[in-house]
Structure 1
Amino acid sequence: MTSLSRRTLFAGTAAAALAAPGPASAAPAPASYRQALDYAVAKLRAVAPTVTSFPQGTKFEKWTFDAGGGWVGGFWPGLLWMAYLDSGEDKFRALAQESALRLAPRRTDTGDHDLGFLFSPSWVTAWRLTGDSSWRDGAVTAADSLIKRYNPAGRFIRAWGKLGTDDRAGRVIVDTMMNLDLLCFASQATGDRKYVDIAVAHAQTTAAHLVRPDGSTCHVFDFDPATGAPIGQNTVQGYSPTSCWSRGQSWAIYGYTRMHHRTGRAEFLSTAREVADWALDHLDADGVPVWDYRSPLAPNDIKDSSAGAITACGLLDLARATGIARYRTTALRILDALCRTCLTTRSTRAEAVLARGTRNRPSEDGVEISLPYGDYYLMEGLLRVLRPDQVAKALDL
């Protein structure tokens, strides 16, 4: 893997952007979007000054916390950055930076594949909005930690288990598609291809084994860690190994669209369209995904509003990349459904914005609660519609 200039590295992306269709025509944003975003910012204005740790989910409508951040720690500073983008209030900027700094010890954590979730919404966004190189350098350090989990025999990033152990050493999960953007950022920041090369390899392996021929996804796929030979699909958070966990499908939609944006590779746009088309064909009539699209109780089973918010963001990205109006229209339909049926506006106790999230249905862990990533992607989606130039700056769209 050799060093190269940023211009050379991302020339393919620029060329693809020039060749791609323009964004799909945009319908006027309903007033409910503005009301929902105002509600989210007001909620954060009231709650954030009292938060000194990392929200993980709600219990009886109040945030519960993990001092180390768990896998979701980056979404709290990310939420504060989203509030700053909309309001311009320096208080949100200060709180976002204070919160992000508490993640500093995780930069060298080689025991977690979720460093993209931790550092992209927090440190990478901080770099883009402040220009302070310490944020950029810290994010690159996190990327260095993440690539230590790369298995060259199987061409995948190991999901779980401590390095040097046999604990789930060959396990890959669809969620990791969302951690690849950190690697693409590191190659952009350093000019070194090694990060993006690993991201591309992992995305190709995921497309070959976790994305099924019909466009649905499995949550987990196991490989022989020594040889890289495929073993088979599995699940931890889905209904079954052959079902389709809706949040996993949303990670694939967003992740492959973003990988196309970062690399210009047509194969990733094709995969993004396949998984998006399958999700659109299976989205419930009410616009909010059921927790697993293939649950035997669907469409009348428990919902996952966070899957809806993530899907909406991915579809808005995909509409930009393809010019296909259906993707944007469905994204707006999902956002409208979330704003109408999933906000916490009727509660005087609620500390979060988006209700009806489901963390892990099979283990009965966090069913019908609020989740920090649900709030984050709802705000990101609303900003993509209402303040596209501002959010583009933060996300490098």
Structure 2
Amino acid sequence: MWKQAIEDTLQKTRANIERFGDLFPHVSENDIYHLNPNNEWTDGFWSGILWLSYQYTGEKVFQEAAQRTVASFKERLENNVALEHHDIGFLYSLSSKAQWILERDENARQLTLQAADVLMKRWRPKGQYIQAWGPEGDAANGGRIIIDCMLNLPLLYWAYEQTGNEKYKEVAIIHADLSRRYLVRGDDSSYHTFYFDQETGEPLRGGTHQGYQDGSTWTRGQAWGIYGFALSYRYTKNPLYLETAVRMARYFFERLPQDDVVYWDFNAPVNAETKRDSSASAIASAGTLEILEHLAADDANRAYLENGVQRSMTGLVKSYATIGKPDAQGFIERGSYSVRGGAAPDDYMIWGDYYYLEALLRLEKGFKGYWYE
């Protein structure tokens, strides 16, 4: 089943290389991807899909397309295009760092280190956190962290390993610890966002930007936490990070609906109109496969988490994948970008496509993605 699903993504990616040209897919409308000239936070995921496809097949069509995206990311960094946010890890881990991992291209390595320095500019020494969005001192966002950042921290861990500069790792660990303390709640659910006083770092309140309400659990946020804490464990070997990832994964899988693909928020009222988020299921699956690499064979959580991944991925392949629709641009249907904001609430998500393919390749070939070497 996994191999057939992978082959389907490869067929679609070949067609998308022709469709997209030098542009980058973001989210869809009426099953057509919105394209941009590399100015969205999501553009690394298209690059990641191309690198994964090349790694799996060895085909030059994927390699050359992926290399062109890295050239675009170099230009984006040089011109400082839409980099006023913390998603630098999403952008450069899956583009230039992927190229470094696969091809040992020194220019790609240097570009990735430069990107890590851009992310470090988000560090706020007074508050001791990485600011998610907006300029320093911004009234609305100056004191805000969000759980998505857990997937951006691997860029800093990697930069430390490459350079020996302790500051990269120190900042990543402080932010991970803060996220664990304030974004992960006592019942293993999560806030999407948390606010701190910009001057003192005093914790103020938890909230949401894309979830159902401030106290609810946005499923994609929970998935970011699962994968992000698992990766922080890989880099630091702090057992608290692995424990947190496991607890968040159990919370996620304990709440799977009948078809095993989650709704957009675990607390949203469920009826015939409730939106799904297939991308959350894909992220959680890839993240849990990372967790399983670190659990002992006799760990009490292993069987449960393995079953959760199998259920989620089988649900995606059988009920949400566009297998049998050769003209489809996306790999999995019914992702949601911002249900509350009315932005692509039931569409293709390029990050959903990326994590779906990464999870398939982990299952079929043991590939790891490009979050670490």
What SS does structure 1 have at the residue aligned with 2:204? strand
Instruction: Select the structure with the greater relative contact order (CA < 8 A; seq sep ≥ 6).
Output: 1
Aligned to 1:75: 45
Aligned to 2:134: 161
Cα 1:300–1:166 shift into 2, 3 Å: closer
Q: What is the alpha-carbon distance in structure 1 between the residues aligned to residue 135 and residue 36 of structure 2?
A: 20
TM-score, with structure 1 as normaliser: 0.88
Aligned to 1:133: 106
What SS does structure 1 have at the residue aligned with 2:336? strand
Q: What is the CA-CA distance between 1:364 and the residue it aligns to?
A: 1.1
With 247-256 and 53-62 compared, the bigger mean Cα shift is at: 53-62
Q: What is the alpha-carbon distance in structure 1 between the residues aligned to residue 46 and residue 283 of structure 2?
A: 16
With 216-225 and 272-281 compared, the bigger mean Cα shift is at: 272-281
Matched letter for residue 336 of structure 2:
T
What SS does structure 1 have at the residue aligned with 2:95? helix
Residue 210 of structure 2 contacts residue 340 of structure 2 at CA under 8 Å; is this kept in 1? yes
Q: What is the CA-CA distance between 1:111 and the residue it aligns to?
A: 1.3
Aligned to 2:336: 358
1:241 to 188, 197, 214: 214
Aligned to 1:50: 19
Cα 1:119–1:48 shift into 2, 3 Å: same
Aligned to 1:304: 277
Aligned to 1:190: 163
Cα 1:299–1:131 shift into 2, 3 Å: farther
Residue 181 of structure 1 contacts residue 259 of structure 1 at CA under 8 Å; is this kept in 2? yes
Q: What is the CA-CA distance between 1:167 and the residue it aligns to?
A: 4.1
Cα 1:337–1:241 shift into 2, 3 Å: same
Aligned to 1:98: 68
Q: What is the CA-CA distance between 1:299 and the residue it aligns to?
A: 9.2
Once superposed, what is the RMSD of the aligned Cα atoms? Answer: 1.7
With 100-109 and 131-140 compared, the bigger mean Cα shift is at: 100-109
After TM superposition, the structure 1 = structure 2 runs for residues 145-160 of structure 1, keeping only pairs within 5 Å, are: 145-160=118-133
What SS does structure 2 have at the residue aligned with 1:168? coil
After TM superposition, the structure 1 = structure 2 runs for residues 205-244 of structure 1, keeping only pairs within 5 Å, are: 205-244=178-217
What SS does structure 2 have at the residue aligned with 1:55? strand
Q: What is the CA-CA distance between 1:68 and the residue it aligns to?
A: 2.8
**Structure 1, unpaired ranges of 5+:** 1-31
Q: What is the alpha-carbon distance in structure 1 between the residues aligned to residue 213 and residue 19 of structure 2?
A: 40
Q: What is the CA-CA distance between 1:298 and the residue it aligns to?
A: 6.7
Matched letter for residue 41 of structure 1:
L
Residue 358 of structure 2 contacts residue 368 of structure 2 at CA under 8 Å; is this kept in 1? no
Q: What is the CA-CA distance between 1:300 and the residue it aligns to?
A: 7.1
Q: What is the CA-CA distance between 1:188 and the residue it aligns to?
A: 0.9
Aligned to 1:85: 55
Q: What is the alpha-carbon distance in structure 2 between the residues aligned to residue 173 and residue 394 of structure 1?
A: 22
Matched letter for residue 337 of structure 1:
G
Does residue 35 (structure 1) correspond to residue 4 (structure 2)? The answer is yes
Q: What is the alpha-carbon distance in structure 2 between the residues aligned to residue 244 and residue 299 of structure 1?
A: 20
Aligned to 1:385: 363
Deviations 1:341-389 (A, max 9, x none): 111235454211111100000011101100110110011000001111x
Q: What is the CA-CA distance between 1:332 and the residue it aligns to?
A: 1.8
Cα 1:385–1:299 shift into 2, 3 Å: farther
Deviations 1:12-70 (A, max 9, x none): xxxxxxxxxxxxxxxxxxxx211111000011112213321111111111111121331
Q: What is the alpha-carbon distance in structure 1 between the residues aligned to residue 140 and residue 77 of structure 2?
A: 22
What SS does structure 2 have at the residue aligned with 1:365? coil
TM-score, with structure 2 as normaliser: 0.94
Identity in percent: 33
Residue 73 of structure 1 contacts residue 103 of structure 1 at CA under 8 Å; is this kept in 2? no
Q: What is the alpha-carbon distance in structure 2 between the residues aligned to residue 300 and residue 285 of structure 1?
A: 16
Deviations 1:89-144 (A, max 9, x none): 01101100101221124436451210001001111111000001111111111111
Q: What is the CA-CA distance between 1:392 and the residue it aligns to?
A: 3.6
Does residue 331 (structure 1) correspond to residue 309 (structure 2)? The answer is yes
Residue 156 of structure 2 contacts residue 172 of structure 2 at CA under 8 Å; is this kept in 1? yes
